[in-house]
Chains A and B, each alone.
Chain A
Amino acid sequence: MSLGFQELEAAERPPTIMTSRLEGELLEVSMGPQHPSTHGVFRMNVALDGEIVRKLKPVFGYLHRNHEKIGENTSYLGSMPYTDRLDYFCSMTNNWAYALSVEKLAGIEVPERAEYLRVILAELTRLQNHASLLGFLLSDMGAWGTPLMYAFREREKILDLFESLSGSRMMCDYMRFGGCRVDASPEWLARAKEVVNRFPKFLDEFENLIVENEILIARTQNVGKLSPGLAISAGITGPMLRACGVNYDIRKVDGYGYYPRFKFRIPLGEHGDTYDRLMMRALEMRESIAILNQAFEQIPAGPVMNPKVKIRAFKPPVGEAYGRIEAPKGELGFYLISDGSSNPYRYRVRPPSFINLTILEDLCLGHTVADVMVILGSVDIVMGEVDR
């Protein structure tokens, strides 16, 4: 194959590991689909030279239920609760991406308060997603239990907020075309503010535990390096792209919602290794807190639904639209084609987790099996979205 794919050099390894190799013999191992560190039912066919990965082919489809076909057979509104099940950690951002695409397709405007609520909920989602990712990643590295529980303690507070607003912790089904389903009460906003105000304390504590931890540095630095050129070509998005030093955040580039109104920075990595990807999440959480604090200050009173939109018996004009947002895992997009009927003719999800796995083999070549776990953890996948 002369396609110009990047080939990573074998990482330098201590001689003790090198001597344990079976010279020239590759051992084929099937990792998964029930392996605890594969974050769901995901399998990798790995060819090993001793401990070193020489070939890695991901195998998908264990959770495939053809979400897109179901979307074509359901009304526009009917797909909204189903988007929750894509990336079940971030149902709010899934809702937003779908609502945004339908709004583009039909030319619907969203009231100001609803846009603010969407920003608040999306950033809360980002906080809990990144916090649990850090927990899971440390758990993959062998720090069993404690860091994950620290992260889940914080996630629980945010899920409680989601529950009191939408009625469900994870399957929120909160947004609608032209706004949000219910309004947030002043008490809810006060509670959310309190949760956000306490969050930096958790971050400080967590960062103290991980940033300079010797084992963590040894396990993550220079592991799974990704070059900016390959990352762009392979369509990598989200924190994984920015860890390579590429400044591309759809919140800034597209300026959807009311993101241009908020002051926040885009953290950028330098090396593109697992450590940078990990730190990217920690830094992004700080920026999310900054956005949330501004949103709590600015949020105006008013309606949360555009009264002109007929959500039931909703029939957008003939045409197509692609809408995308910066979900916690990367660019989440929905591509819809309408033929004027009540069901979409084509309903396509652009899943960030799935496309971010394109370069999994490139990242893992030359590393040990134990590193594969850490690299996969740092990609941040949810199988509900990968397999759809």
Chain B
Amino acid sequence: METLAEIKARTETVAPGARLEIVSNGSPSQQASLRIDNEHAVEIARFLRDDPELRLDFCSNVTGVDWLDRTIKKTVKVKQVVDGVEKEVDQISEEVIPGYLEAVYHLYSIARKHGPVIIRMRTADRTAETQLPSLTSIWRSAEFQEREIFDLYGIHFDGHPDLRRILMWDEFEDYPMRKDYREPDDYEYEPTPHDDVLEKAKRHYAPRPQLDGAEKITAQP
């Protein structure tokens, strides 16, 4: 199979203006990946699938990753005049790299029996602009897996035929796989008849402040 750099060069000729970037991987697995831009994603995906050399017809694994905001601290020596004397002073600058959500696709070729080619797409940020183009129209196998990413990470896939929650229930509000997810105290709180009865009982019986909780409610003598 071609190297990722060759695939990148050929993709750039097919989709002019596309911003591609090879994301290196420090692990011994040496599975580097290709980051593609969201505007040309469907076009690039179609090229990867239909190109006679590559024929990446089998999209095996689709998954999301949540990257939080990162702060990089840099220390720069700066000359400053302190008490009339010039000195070298350490100046610490902080650079905040905003977080983003990522969708990763592992592509293989059944026709050519090679792979994987890994492509990834990133959202603009984690809260407001979480849209990515859906690749379900290219590989049907992304249908349920993109739904799962929407469900657990909250990435909205534009052009997905049926973007609903798949594992969590429809009324669920947050995205549980995000790194900053906090479990609610009570998943499905709603007032029950039991609560009303409890309130009524409290009005009927005199409270005993020395006791806590349910023990407060006791019958009067």
Contacts and interface: CB of A to CB of B under 8 A. Distances in A.
Nearest to B66: A346
Of the four ranges (under 10, 10 to 19, 20 to 34, 35 or more), the interface on chain B belongs to 35 or more
A359 B144 CA distance: 10
Contacts of B60: 235, 237, 324, 331, 333, 350
Contacts of A301: none
A350 B61 contact: yes
Contacts of A235: 58-60, 139-141
A248 B118 contact: no
B158 to A, nearest CB: 13
A317 B168 contact: no
Mostly, the B contact residues are: loop
Contacts of A236: 141
B176 interface: yes
Interface in B1-34: 25-29, 31
B106 interface: yes
B37 interface: no
Nearest to B113: A253
B104 interface: yes
Given A1-B161, A107-B28, A357 B113 contact: no
A337 B140 CA distance: 25
Interface residues of A, number: 49
A233 B140 contact: yes
Contacts of B61: 322, 333, 335, 348, 350
A358 B27 CA distance: 32
Interface in A254-298: none
A318 interface: yes
Contacts of A346: 63, 65
Q: When A and B form their complex, which 8 residue pairs have the shortest distance between CB atoms, in order from nearest?
A: A319-B27, A235-B141, A107-B28, A321-B29, A234-B140, A61-B167, A104-B29, A350-B61
Interface of B: 25-29, 31, 57-61, 63, 65, 104, 106, 110, 113, 116, 118, 136-137, 139-141, 143-145, 152, 161, 166-169, 176-177
